[in-house]
A = this chain, B = another copy of it.
Amino acid sequence: VSLGEFDLIARYFDAPAPGAVLGIGDDCALWSPSPGQHLALSCDTLVEGRHFLPDVDPIALGHKALAVNLSDLAACGARPCCFLLAATLPRVDEPFLAGFSQGLRALAAAHRIDLVGGNTTAGPLAFTLTVMGEVPPGQALLRSAAQPGDDLWVSGTLGEARLALMALQGQVKLGTAQLRQARVALEQPQPQVALGLALRGVARAAIDLSDGLLADLGHILQRSGPTGRPLGARIACDALPLGTVLQSQPVAMQQACALAGGDDYQLCFTAAASAATQVAAAGERCGVRLTKIGCLLEPGAGVQVNDGHGRVLATPQQGFDHFRVAPA
């Protein structure tokens, strides 16, 4: 801990936290939760070279660092309340910190939540955020609540974040306008907080898509089935909602990005078939596109991905790795 830490905190991160009893500046933040609510807690780390490139726009990085955490609250149907930031910085880079703080604060303001505490230390560039949300007891959306026969839904569009990353890494060639559009998906994901709230009591299981649809769906299937016997699922590949830039790519690229791309930060959730109207209404209320992409099957049925001609493209025996693009 350097003596400069306190100046840094004051300059870039110490703003009033009206939602807190006590914000930044003491050993702990103090916060008064709403009576009778459960707290939803999550933390996520972004590391340079792993989750973002050295030349990242700091405003976009500040946005994304909070967005990926709010996405976890969204997946539980929790209302965001406040967050803490642990920043590890190799040096004092004021323009970078100013940008990071700006992006972070803009998204926090949009969700009316406060940065209530945290710490900075010297070290390799990384940011760990811990978010706190509230959800009424029994109303959280859990990975473990899916049932065979449920419809399988996703919000928004899939795969374009991975396409942008591949373009930035020179693995795919995109036009300037196309790259600019795809980068929005990669760098400015919008956590589906309002949708998560609207799906309380409507959806059964939910998860946010950070590692790619097949991998993340796998967690729902595993936790919703009996021990060691994950539920199965059938996905109609043609139904996957793709962004317009990804639509211009070859079908194999579309499928790889949408099924295993990662970094989508959309919600994947299941709901009883009888709840389809309510699901659609929740999407309309939130202004979020919702797409039914398949259904859940009995334990042992595996994961079947069908193309438009009814052919099976992948099964869990072929493994999620089959579609997995090399990690960043």
Contacts and interface: CB of A to CB of B under 8 A. Distances in A.
Interface of A: 1-3, 6, 21-22, 25-33, 35-36, 38-45, 47-51, 72-73, 75-76, 78, 82, 84, 86, 88, 116-119, 121-124, 126, 128, 130, 132-133, 135, 137, 140, 142-144, 206-208, 210-211, 215, 219, 223, 262, 320-321, 324, 327
Nearest to A36: B35
Q: Kindly list the 5 A-B residue pairs having the minimum CB-CB distance in the complex, ordered from nearest.
A: A47-B123, A28-B40, A27-B75, A124-B124, A128-B128
Given A3-B215, A41-B116, A137 B32 contact: yes
Copies in the complex: 2
Given A22-B142, A39-B31, A223-B25, A44 B86 contact: yes
Nearest to A30: B38
Contacts of A39: 30-33, 39
Given A45-B121, A45-B123, A32 B38 contact: yes
A30 B140 contact: yes
Contact of A130 (B33, B43, B76): B43
A22 B42 CA distance: 12
